[in-house]
Amino acid sequence: MTQRRVPLRSLPDVTIANPPRGPAIETDAQLWTRAAAGDRHAFGELFERHAEAVWNHAYRLTASWSQAEDLTSSTFLLAWRKCHGVKLIRDSALPWLYTVAGNLARNEHRGATRFLRAVRRLPDDTVAADHADDVAHRVDGDARMARILAAVRTLPRSEREAVELCLLGEVPTADAAELLGVAEVSVRSRLSRARARLRTKLEELS
Amino acid sequence: MNALDLPPRRPLPRETRERIRRTVETGLADRRSRYRAPLAAAAAVALLAVGVFVGSHLAPVPGDDRSPAATTTTSPDSPDSPVVRGVTMAVPYAQTNEDLDHCADVAAASPRAGEFAPRAEWRPRFTATAPDGVRITAFLGTGGKPAFCEVTTTTATVSDPTAEPIPLALTPTNMSPAAVFAVYLSPTGLLAGYAESVAALEFTAVQGTEVEPISVPAFRNGMFVVNLGEFRIGDSVDVIGRSSQGLSVVSGSLAYSPPHLPPPGVTGPIG
C-alpha cells in the first residue's frame, strides 16, 4: 500500500480569524500582588523571571559567584517576607530586588569591618583579634570586580546607593530616583560625583 | 554603561538556578506552627513582652557577674496561642563555673584546642537557662572576645573561637555607633551574641506576614541570649536595640540562611 503524499504548498491558504493565544503574561505588579497575598506560584514566577538578573547583580555586589548565589537566595527569601508592603517602580520588581540585595550585601560587609571596633569596646577586652584577613577573603573572585567594589565602598552612602543601582545594576536614573525617594536630578548629580571619585580611587588601586 | 569596565553579565547556569530555587522553595514551604498567631494577637503579646522587658532592665547591675537578676517570662503554650519562650538568669555562680569547666574540657579535647584561651582566662558574664534546662554561659574568651558555652544534660558546646560575628543590626555609619552581633546559634534555637551601645534588646520572629515577639532576652554586660525556639529556612528574626531612654537606636534582622548564620561550635560529651 502506498501513501499519497500531499505537498504542503498544495494546501489552500487558510486565514485563522482568531488565532489561539497562550495564557496572558502577567505583569510583575500583578504577580507581586498575588505573592503578597500568599500565592507561592506567583512568587515562583517572579523568581524565574528575575533570578538571573539578581544573580548577576549579586556578583557585582560581592565579586564572588559563590557569594552571589547565597545573596540571591537571601534576596528572594527576604522579598517573600517583605513583599506585602512594597510598591513596585514602573511595574518591575527588579529595582526593588536590587535594593534588597544591596542592603544585604552592605550589611554583611559593614559587619565585618565594624567587628574590631565593637569587640574593643567590650569590658575586659585585653587583646583584640585581627579579622582583617577574613574581610579581605570576602572580597575574592574576579580581581577587577573586587577593585571596583573596593572603590565603591569608599563612597558616601547616598552616592553608593545610586552607583549600586544605576552603574552596577543599570537601573534607569528615573527609577532609581523613585526607589530612593529623591529627585532624578539628585541621582544624576550623585552619579556624577561618584564617577569622579571612582575614577580617582580606581587609579590609586591600580 | 560601562565606564567602570564591569565584567559582562553571564547566563545563570541551570544547576545554579536549581540550587537557588531549591533554597528559596524550601524557605517558602518550611512554615512553623509557632507562627500561626494572628497579627493582632502577636501585637498584643509584643506590648506585654516589651513592658516586662523594660521593667526588668530599669536597674541594671553593671559589672556584677555574681548576682544575676532573674528575667523570666512564661506564657500559655497552647496550639492556638503564640509561644513566647523565655530564659532565666537566676543561676548559682558555682553552676556557671562548672559549666565553663565542661566546655573547657571539650575545647581541650578537640583538634582546635590551640585556638581557645586557657580556662583560667575565661571571664564569665552570666548564665541563661532555657525552659528545657539547656544552659548557656556568656563569657569573654580568646583574646577577650565574646564567647558562649552551652551545656545540656549530656553535651557541652563552646562557640567557635575564630568565627566572625554575624551582624544583626547596625546603625548608619554617620550616626553614633550601635550594633548587635550574633556569635552562636544552638541546635535548640538559643541565639547568643553581643550588643554595642545598646541598653535593651527586643526580638521578634517573622515569617511572611506573621510575627511573634520572642519574650525577654537575657542581656547583661553587652552580651545576650535569646530563645528563638525553632529557627529554620524562611524564618527571620528582627531585633531592636534601645537606649537607656527607651529610644530605638538600632534595628535589623537575621534571615535563616546557612552561610549567614553563626557556625556550630565545638561539641563533646560531658565528662
B166: nearest CB among A40, A111, A119: A111
Can you give the pLDDT of all 271 residues of chain B as single tens digits?
456 778 888 999 988 888 888 777 766 654 333 333 333 333 333 332 332 222 222 222 223 332 223 233 322 222 222 333 566 666 666 778 889 999 999 999 999 999 999 999 998 888 888 877 888 999 998 778 999 999 988 889 999 998 888 888 887 655 667 889 999 998 878 899 999 888 888 888 876 556 777 766 788 888 999 888 777 777 788 888 888 888 888 888 888 777 678 888 898 888 6
How many angstroms separate the CA atoms of A132 and A113, rounded? 8
Give the position of cell 553614633: B176
How many angstroms separate the CA atoms of B214 and B85, rounded? 6
A118: nearest CB among B5, B179, B259: B179
Going B194 to B195 to B201 to B206, the CA torsion angle's sign is negative
Residues in chain A within 8 Å Cβ distance of B174: 157
Kindly report the nearest CA distance between residue A94 and chain B, in angstroms: 15
How many angstroms separate the CA atoms of B80 and B42, rounded? 12
How many angstroms separate the CA atoms of A106 and B181, rounded? 15
Cβ A61 vs Cβ A109: under 8 Å: no
Highest mean pLDDT among A62-66, A152-156, A178-182, B2-6: A152-156
The C-alpha cell at A49 is: 523571571
Q: What pTM did the predictor assign? A: 0.45
Query: Which pLDDT belongs to residue B119?
Result: 92
The C-alpha cell at B127 is: 548564665
CB of A72 within 8 Å of a chain B CB? The answer is: yes
Kindly report the nearest CA distance between residue A119 and chain B, in angstroms: 6
Residues in chain B within 8 Å Cβ distance of A141: none
Query: Which pLDDT belongs to residue A119?
Result: 37
Q: Give tens-digit pLDDT for A99-134.
A: 888 887 776 544 434 443 443 344 433 333 333 333
Give the position of cell 509584643: B46
ipTM comes to 0.72
| Pairs of CB atoms within 8 A across A/B | 153
Share above pLDDT 70 across residues of chain A, in percent, rounded to a whole number: 70
Which range has the worst mean pLDDT, A9-18, A66-75, B174-183?
A9-18
Query: Which pLDDT belongs to residue B100?
Result: 94
Kindly report the nearest CA distance between residue A198 and chain B, in angstroms: 8
A positions 24-43 inside 8 Å of B (CB)? 38, 40, 43
